[in-house]
Structure 1
Amino acid sequence: MHFLLLGATGRTGQLVVTELLTQGHTAVALVRNPDKLPPRKGLTVVKGSSLAKADIEMTITATSTPVDGCIFTLGTLRESESPFAKQVTPPRFLADSAGVASEVLLAHNVSRLVIMSTAGTGDSWPGLPLVFRAYMGWTNLKYVLADHNLMDVDVRATKTAWTLVRPIRLEFDTKKVTELDVLDSRGSGRLKMSDCAHIRAVARFLVKVAVEGIYIRETVVVRDA
């Protein structure tokens, strides 16, 4: 299969690239900085903005292979990794990027859209441990969450065959191999302080969902099993 990738230079996005290519699929990635994602066999890299309709259009048509779907791992940017750091990306960066992608995909008769969201979005908020809610609500992560909430609402209103994947507390140890529990959109009311999701497992799950066409128009919370 052949996928459009948005967010391919991020920590999870790069693992999605590796997973796709390892499985024999191909991809075309729209990135702000191509230096962060050197071309590899089966991967085409296009420079541009996910907010620009023309750039996504150019990316989809960059190869002669028709796109089968889009895997969206974009994240917002802050001035540093500190949760109190100032937000760099616009308030609706994720929501607007997903909206533009949806419009272009549908214009090319492509409906499949798999999005990495985050636990705490939408109806998963009440099920988060209190400490998690305090952390996200009192730091500048609240702006990240607000954008995820906007995207969550907007994507559901599109005609795409969307899937929203909400990992809880991403862990970035790429050497650790884990399996994931897949819960309903609320986290089944069983989320705990110790819950996390390692990004290799999340990347593998995003690819599985996209390739197999599962959880269409569904939202799931994932955590390490």
Structure 2
Amino acid sequence: MNIALIGASGFIGSALRNEALSRGHRVTALVGRPERLEPAAGLTVLGTDVLDVERLAPQLAGHDAVISAFSGHAQDDVRGYHNRGTAAIVAATKQAGVPRLLVVGGAGSLEVAPGLQLVDTPEFPAQWKDTALAGRDVLESLRAEPSLDWTFFSPAALIAPGERTGRFRIGGEQLLVDERGDSKISVEDYAVAMIDELENSAHSRRRFSIAY
């Protein structure tokens, strides 16, 4: 497949890029600083500005799918920047006529009890709260999207570098935990599941989640 990957040099974006290329997909990496990426077979690197729909849309045109690993972690207004950027990505994807958008989401909007989301628990880390709230905003906006074929993929509560095992559980709206109550996934296995979803489209217009 011909994939446009936004945020391809970031923590999760890099894992997605490597997984997609390893499966023989063609990847257009859309990044703010293209000099960060080394050349690779099947990889095209383009500098972009996700807030500029008129610049981004032509860069997305002709692809089979867009994967957004966009985040606002480095910004002062994390939530606002993330929401504006994702809205621009949605608009550009539609303007470009790309049929599918897959979004890297967060775990904060997953339920830990009926009616209680992880981000609303007292122990949720303050440093990640705006990022989690932005992820929830994005999910709500996608659910209101009338026409785009979207998928929102939430990781476990802890996502970190590790092994590519290919062995994990897939869930829906609830936070998945193991027998010890931990919720973990490696970024490598998250990438496996995202590219599986790209190839098989099992969660059209809905959210899914992952954990060991």
Matches within 5 A, 1:159-178: 159-175=147-163, 177-178=165-166
AA at the equivalent of 1:147? A
Cα displacement (A) at 1:169? 2.4
TM-score by length of 1: 0.82
Alpha-carbon shift at residue 11 of structure 1 (Å): 1.6
Q: CA deviation at 1:184?
A: 1.7
Check 1:194–1:44 CA distance in 2 against 1; reply closer, same or farther (3 A cut): same
Aligned to 2:72: 76
- Specify the alignment match of 2:184 in structure 1: 196
Tell me the residue number matched to 1:101: 89
- For the 8 Å contact 1:29–1:59, the answer to whether it is kept is no
Change (3 A) 1:130 1:191: farther
- Tell me what 1:51 maps to: 51
CA distance in 2, matches of 1:153, 1:131: 15
- Partners in 2 of 1:95 and 1:110 — Cα distance? 20
Inter-CA distance 215–131: structure 2 relative to 1 (3 Å threshold): closer
Asked if the contact 2:102–2:151 (Cα under 8 Å) also holds between the matched residues in 1, the reply is yes
CA distance 1:189–1:173, shift in 2 (3 Å): closer
Q: Name which of 102, 119, 122 aligns with 1:134.
A: 122
Cα distance, 1:53–1:175 mapped onto 2, change above 3 Å: same
Whether the aligned pair in 2 keeps the contact of 1:95 and 1:154 (CA below 8 Å) is no
C-alpha displacement of 1:100: 1.5
Identify if the C-alpha distance between structure 1 residues 48 and 177 changes in structure 2 by more than 3 Å, giving closer, same or farther.
same
Distance change in 2, residues 1:223/1:99 (3 Å): same
- What SS does the corresponding residue of 1:46 show, helix, strand or coil? strand
Mapped contact 1:161–1:217 kept (Cα < 8 A): yes
- 1:219 deviates by 1.0
What displacement does 1:109 show? Answer: 2.2
Unaligned ranges ≥5, structure 1: 79-86
CA distance in 1, matches of 2:100, 2:118: 34
Counterpart Cα distance in 2 of 1:206 and 1:92: 25
What is the alpha-carbon root mean square deviation over aligned residues?
2.7
2:139 and 2:69 map into 1 onto residues whose CA distance is 14
Whole-Å Cα distance in 2 between the matches of residues 173 and 132 of structure 1? Answer: 26
* Pairing of 1:210-225 with structure 2 (within 5 A): 210-224=198-212
1:133 positional shift: 2.9
How many angstroms apart in 2 are the aligned matches of 1:39 and 1:125?
42
Please point out which of 150, 154, 162 is paired with 2:141. 154
TM-score by length of 2: 0.86
Contact preservation (8 Å) 2:176, 2:210: no
Which 5+ residue runs of structure 2 have no aligned equivalent? none
**Alignment size in residue pairs:** 210
Comparing 3-12 with 172-181, greater Cα deviation is found at 172-181
- Checking the alignment, whether the CA contact within 8 Å between 1:170 and 1:199 is kept in structure 2 is no
SS of structure 2 residue aligned to 1:140: helix
- Give deviations 1:167-225, integer Å, cap 9, x for gaps: 1123323345352211121237989641111110001111111122221011112101x
Equivalence for 1:38? 38
Taking the aligned partners of 1:7 and 1:191, their CA distance within structure 2 comes to 34
- Matched to 1:21, the amino acid is L
Contact 1:129 1:193 in 2 (8 A): no
